Amino acid sequence: MNNPFERQVKIKEVEVVDVEFFNKFKTAGLFLRAKAFFVDLIIVLLLIFLLLFILERIAFFYEKDIYQGIKLFLFIFLVPYTYFAQLESSKKQATFGKQIFRLKVSDIEGRRISYLRAGGRFLGKILSITIFFIGVFLILFTRKKQGLHDIFSNTIVVSKLPEFNKLDVAVDENQIKYAGFWVRFLARLIDSVIVFPLLIISLIFSSFFSRDIDDFYGKISDIFIIFAVLLLYTSIMNSSNHKATLGKKIFGLQVVDSNNERISYFIAMQRFFSEIISIIFLGAGYFMIAFSQKKQGLHDKISETFVIYSVHKKKINFYKYFFWIFIYLFFVFGSFYLFSKIYNYEHEKSQATYIYSPHTINEPVVTLQNYLDIYDSMTYQDVVSLIGIEGDEISRSSLSSELLTSDHVFYSWVNPDGSNLIAFFIDGRLVSKNQAGLR
């Protein structure tokens, strides 16, 4: 029998949290997440660009297709949706950009999220961006550093704590080994190999939007792009948890401050600008490394940074690193080849103008494909000459009055290389040699 005077107490349920998880991870801030998103954005744009090129070649998009806009929208939407949803719900719990900066997406308790929740998170991210990035800037003001899309999907983004964080600070000065001139030179060579293809691709992208820009401003634009790519690569990598660019990482090097800690992004930027000063003085700033006690170049001294061998340096597996560099270069140069094909294709389309027939000057009667049907052996360069150098059209003024009075006419002119080209017209239409009755 229950005691009527016994006080009943309702026990409030306590939220169960994986303590071990939060001992290894901490919530990631806006700036770190922005760097990861920038990397993901580049990857997604590359995927969209390459897939659009492939689908255009298999006639997935037709010029007269009334559903072209809908298909294009769905395609551009589905590529990033699949990329983010699939990777953030995978075992890695992170996109490639997040993996570089050691970030993970999890639920509030630190567990892996489902594909549907990851997809919902992506949709919420679109909302966060479209409302003037207000949903993104919420990360700065919420206790768990959640954006609007994180709140909607009940997720958090965490960064992995360095395993030897405390030990790195307490390193004895005698244990530190500073990196010399030659090993840093080799690391810079590898970084150059990695960055050069990115520069080429960036310049190709730029060329699509600067065709009508004056040459002077076009060159200024190219210089700015090269500068921006180099700045982003070196600053992001040197201020990351790896404390090094990919070239330095291969040789077990790290860029640290006077306390042997990771430098901030702004210090990394300052170090990059200081390198320009080292270059201006005919490279003298770099040669200071060979004569400095702590192997500092001029840019190191200005930014108060050091390049050291990692205290927890592992045996370097050169085969592994060079294998991944080979895969990277294969992918990049493959992309570069496709981009160049696309650029040439677009350039050809811009050069292809209509030839107007002698009797119907105002009505275009043939297109580039018709020109190619005239002679099977014609190259595109011949076709450009047939159309007219730099897009000059063959019009009434370029044909003699005798030809205009005839139903069967031909027009002949000499190419700049000395070869002859003939265009045949029957009833005012450009025709092939066989159609003109000539053998």
pLDDT digits (tens, 9 = 90+) for 307-359: 999 876 556 566 666 666 666 666 666 666 666 665 555 555 444 333 333 33
CB 191 within 8 A of CB 247: yes
Average pLDDT over residues 182-211: 77
Distances (CA, A) of 395 to 20, 178, 210, 369, 411: 79, 73, 30, 19, 11
Least confident of 113-127, 217-231, 364-378: 364-378
Query: CA-CA-CA-CA torsion for 127, 131, 135, 138, nearest 10 degrees?
Result: 180
User: At CA 103, angle to CA 98 and CA 106, rounded to 5?
Assistant: 110
Say whether both 324 and 176 belong to one domain.
Answer: yes
Question: How much is the pLDDT for 306?
Answer: 94
Residue 437 counted as domain residue:
no
Cβ 253 vs Cβ 191: under 8 Å = no
User: Rounded to an integer, what distance in angstroms lies between the CA atom of residue 302 and that of residue 296?
Assistant: 10
Q: What is the pLDDT of residue 184?
A: 92
Q: What are phi and psi of 163, to 5 degrees?
A: -70, -25
Domain boundary among 106, 127, 161: 161
Cβ(255)–Cβ(306) below 8 Å: yes
Which of 161, 184, 205 finishes a domain? Answer: 161
Please tell me whether residues 83 and 215 are part of one structural domain: no
Tell whether 124 and 240 lie within a shared domain. no
Neighbours of 139 (CB within 10 A): 23
pLDDT tens string 94-118: 998 888 888 999 999 889 999 999 9
Could you tell me if 103 and 191 lie in one domain?
Answer: no
Has residue 73 been placed in a domain? yes
Nearest to 46 by CA among 255, 342, 350: 342
Distances (CA, A) of 285 to 237, 278, 288: 22, 4, 5
Torsion of the alpha carbons at 179, 180, 183 and 189, rounded to the nearest 10: 110
Average pLDDT over residues 50-65: 60
pLDDT value for 328: 65
* Among the listed residues 75, 80, 51, the one whose alpha carbon sits nearest the alpha carbon of residue 65: 75
Partners of 178 in beta bridges: 308
Decide: pTM greater than 0.75: no
User: Dihedral of CA 85/89/92/98: which sign?
Assistant: positive
pLDDT band for 217, please (50, 70, 90 cuts). low
8-22 pLDDT, tens digit each: 444 444 444 555 555
Strand extents, DSSP E, 226-379: 253-256, 306-309
Q: Is residue 3 over pLDDT 60?
A: no
217 and 187, same structural domain? yes
% residues pLDDT > 90 (the chain): 18
153 and 212, same domain (yes or no): no
Most confident of 2-16, 123-137, 407-421: 123-137
Neighbours of 280 (CB within 10 A): 11
- Look at residue 94 in the predicted model and tell me its pLDDT: 93
**Closest by Cα among 416, 354, 409 to 382:** 416
Q: Is there a domain that residue 344 lies in?
A: no
Higher model confidence: residue 103 or residue 61? 103
The mean pLDDT of the chain is: 70
pLDDT at residue 345 in the model? 54
Average pLDDT over residues 19-34: 76
Q: What are phi and psi of 364, to 5 degrees?
A: -70, 130
Domain that residue 132 falls in:
19-161
C-alpha 185/C-alpha 289 separation (Å) is 11
Q: How many domains does the chain have?
A: 3
**Whether residue 256 is found in the same domain as residue 383:** no
Q: Is residue 256 part of a domain?
A: yes
* pLDDT the model gives residue 101: 82
Question: What is the C-alpha separation between 310 and 52, in angstroms, rounded?
Answer: 43
Note whether 51 and 145 are same-domain residues: yes
Do 37 and 60 share a domain, yes or no? yes
Identify whether residues 222 and 262 lie together within a single domain. yes
Q: Where are the beta strands (DSSP E) in 371-419?
A: 408-414
Question: Is the residue at 71 inside a domain?
Answer: yes
For the stretch 170-186, pLDDT in tens is 455 667 889 999 999 99
- The answer to whether 268 and 238 have CB atoms below 8 angstroms apart is yes
Q: Could you say which DSSP state residue 41 is in?
A: H
Q: How confident is the model at residue 42 (pLDDT cuts 50, 70, 90)?
A: confident
3-state secondary structure of 198: helix
Could you tell me which residue, 312 or 256, shows the higher pLDDT? 256
Hey, what are 133's tokens? 């990035």
Q: Name the more confident of 270 and 313.
A: 270
Predicted confidence at residue 13, as pLDDT, reads 46
Give the mean model confidence (pLDDT) for residues 352-379.
37
Better pLDDT: 311 or 63: 311
- Whether residue 9 lies inside any domain: the answer is no
Which tens digits make up the pLDDT trace of 226-252? Answer: 888 888 888 888 988 889 998 898 888
Q: Cβ distance 234 to 248 under 8 Å?
A: no
- What Å distances lie between residue 100 and 37, 241, 436, CA to CA? 11, 9, 65
pLDDT at 396 over 50: no
Which structure tokens are listed for 319? 């085969």
Is 341 a domain residue? no
Regarding whether 307 and 188 lie in a shared domain, the answer is yes
Helix (H, G, I), strand (E, B) or coil at 307: strand
Which segment of 34-48, 256-270, 409-423 scores lowest on mean pLDDT? 409-423
Provide, rounded to the nearest whole percent, the portion of the chain with pLDDT above 70.
53
Question: Per the domain annotation, does 339 fall within a domain?
Answer: no
Q: Which pLDDT value is given to residue 325? A: 66
Q: Are residues 107 and 226 located together in one domain of the fold?
A: no
Q: Report d(CA 340, CA 310) in Å as an integer.
A: 41
Domain boundary, last residue among 113, 130, 161? 161
Residue 368 pLDDT more than 60?
no
